[in-house]
Structure 1
C-alpha cells in the first residue's frame, strides 16, 4: 500500500525564536513529510532558521495569515495537509495519533482541540482570550447546530479535497473561524483530537490583538451567517421590523377607536413602512436561501469529483 504524501504547512511572521524547533520536531515525529514554511514578510530571520532546520521555505508578500494559507493551498500538492502555527504552542509528538484518527474516520478536517482538557485555559495568559474562544464556539454551535469544542485552533489536518475546494475572501486571523463555518455549512466531516496546548516561550510575542481581532472574528461570524443562512438572518431582521411595526401601529389604531380620527399620521406611515420592509427582508431571505441550496448542491458535485 502506497503511503499518502503528507505536507506540513507552517505560515510564519517573525517566529525566529520557535520556528527551528517546530520544523525539527516534525523531522523527528514525521520524517517522511515535506515541511513548508511560508514567510509573511518576517524581519527577524525566520526564513533562514527554517531553511537551516530542513524546511522548504517560500514567501508570501500579502500580509495576513489567510493570504499565506491560500497560497499554500494553491501551490502545494499532497494527499494530506497539516497546518500548524510556527510559535511552538502545539504539540508535535501526537501527530501520528492525529493522522491515524483522521484517516480512520475519513475526515475532511481534523482540529487540534485545546479547550476540552483546559490546557489552553491554564496556559494562556492573555486577558479575555478564553472568554472570546467560548463566545465564538457557542455562537457557531447554536447557529449551525454543531457540537464543536474548539473553533479557533490553528492546528488542523485537511484532506486534499478540502484544500483544493476551499475558497474565501478573508485575509487575516479570522481564518480558523472561516474554516470551521465553511466545513459546517457544506456538511463536511469534521473531527477533533484533544491536545495539550502550551503558551508561547518567554520572548515570543503574539501577533493577536484581543479586542481588534476579536471584533473581526465576531463580524466575520455574522457575515457568514448572512451568507450561509440567509433565511435565518433576514428572517430575524424581518421579525424584528414586523414586531416594531405592529407596536408603532397600535398608537394610531388606539387613537382611531378613541377619537374616530388619526392624529399621529407620521407614526402610522412609519409603522406601515416597517411592515413593508419586514416583508421585503423575508422575501430576500427566501430568494437567497434558494440560491444557497443550489450552491450546496453544486459544491457537493464539485467536491465529489475532486480526485
Structure 2
C-alpha cells in the first residue's frame, strides 16, 4: 500500500486536547501527508497540529462540510483521501482496512461502520437510536445499505469526490456524501471500524437535536431526485390524512350535534384533492426517474 498516495484529512474546531495525538498516531502508521483543516479555533489547535507534523490550513468559511469541500478541491494533491475526525474517536489501526478497497479497485468510496465495534461510552443511547433511525430511513429512500451513513471515518478517491454535488456546510456532509454516492452509483464499500469515546477534556461540537434535524432534512430533501415516489408520496399521504381527519370531524359534528362547518369542509376537500395529486405526481416522477436510469444503463452498456 502506497501511503504517499494518501492524504489524511482531519477537519478540526477547538480540538487542541486531541489533535496532536491524532496527527502523531497517523504519522506513526506511515501516513506522512496529514492535512488539518481548522475552523478558526481559539484553543491552540493549529499550533499543536503543526507541532505534531501536520500541514494546517484555515478554512475560508464555516462548518465541517465547507472545510472538507475546500480542502479536497483546493489543497489535496493525492489520488486518495482518508477522512477522520480530530477528536481521537477513530483508530489509525483501521486505516489500512479502509484504504484496501480503493487500492484494489473494488470501490471509490469507503464508509467506516462504527457499529461494528463501538465502545459502550462512545455514543449516548439517544444518539444510537437516532443513528439507527437515520440509517433505516436512508435505506428505505435510497435503496442502499451503507451500514453507517453518519460515520466520519471515510476513504475515497479524489476524482469520485469531485463528481459529487455537495453543498452541506455542517455535520450534514456525511449524509450528503452517502446520498450522492447512492444517487450517482459510486462503488461504495463498508468496512467495520472501532469507535472510541472522546478523551477526557475533549468536548463535542455536535448538537444532537439541531444537527439531527439538519440530517433528517438532508436525507428527505435528496429523495426528490433519487426516490420521488417517497418524496411526493409521503407528503401526499400526510396531506390526505389531514383531509380525512378534518372530514371526520365535520361529519361527526354535523350528524351528532347538527353543527355545520362549511369552511372546514372546504379545507378537507382541498386537502384530499391535493394529497391525491401529490401521490399521482410521485408515481409519474418515479416512472420518469426509472426510465432515465434505464436509458443511462443502455448508453453505458453500448459504450
Normalising by structure 1, we get a TM-score of 0.81
Question: What are the equivalent positions in structure 2 for 1:69-84 lying under 5 Å apart?
Answer: 69-75=68-74, 76-84=76-84
Q: Secondary structure at the match of 1:207?
A: coil
Q: Secondary structure at the match of 1:90?
A: coil
Q: Are 1:276 and 2:273 matched, yes or no?
A: yes
Distance 2:2 2:10 in 1: 25
Q: Which residue of structure 1 aligns with residue 212 of structure 2?
A: 214
Q: CA separation of 1:126/1:275 partners in 2, compared to 1, >3 Å: closer, same or farther? A: closer
Q: CA separation of 1:178/1:297 partners in 2, compared to 1, >3 Å: closer, same or farther? A: farther
Per-residue CA deviation, residues 51-81 of structure 1 (Å, 9 max, x unaligned), is: 1222111111422101101101211222111
Q: CA separation of 1:292/1:160 partners in 2, compared to 1, >3 Å: closer, same or farther? A: farther
Q: Are the counterparts in 1 of residues 110 and 189 from structure 2 also a CA contact under 8 Å?
A: yes
Q: Which moved more, 1:46-55 or 1:238-247?
A: 238-247
Q: CA separation of 1:267/1:81 partners in 2, compared to 1, >3 Å: closer, same or farther? A: same
Q: Which residue of structure 2 aligns with residue 40 of structure 1?
A: 39
Runs (4+) off by over 3 Å:
1-4, 239-254, 263-272, 282-300
Q: Secondary structure at the match of 1:166?
A: coil
Q: Are the counterparts in 1 of residues 59 and 70 from structure 2 also a CA contact under 8 Å?
A: yes
Q: CA RMSD in A?
A: 3.5
Tell me how many residue pairs correspond in the alignment: 295
Q: Are the counterparts in 2 of residues 102 and 191 from structure 1 also a CA contact under 8 Å?
A: no
Q: Which one of 132, 156, 162 corresponds to residue 158 of structure 1?
A: 156
Distance 2:142 2:296 in 1: 18
Q: Secondary structure at the match of 2:96?
A: helix
Q: Which residue of structure 2 aligns with residue 85 of structure 1?
A: 85
Q: Which residue of structure 1 aligns with residue 282 of structure 2?
A: 285
Q: Which one of 119, 122, 125 corresponds to residue 124 of structure 1?
A: 122
- CA shift, 1:82, in A, is 0.7
Q: Which residue of structure 2 aligns with residue 11 of structure 1?
A: 11
Q: Are the counterparts in 1 of residues 4 and 33 from structure 2 also a CA contact under 8 Å?
A: no
Distance 1:292 1:77 in 2: 36
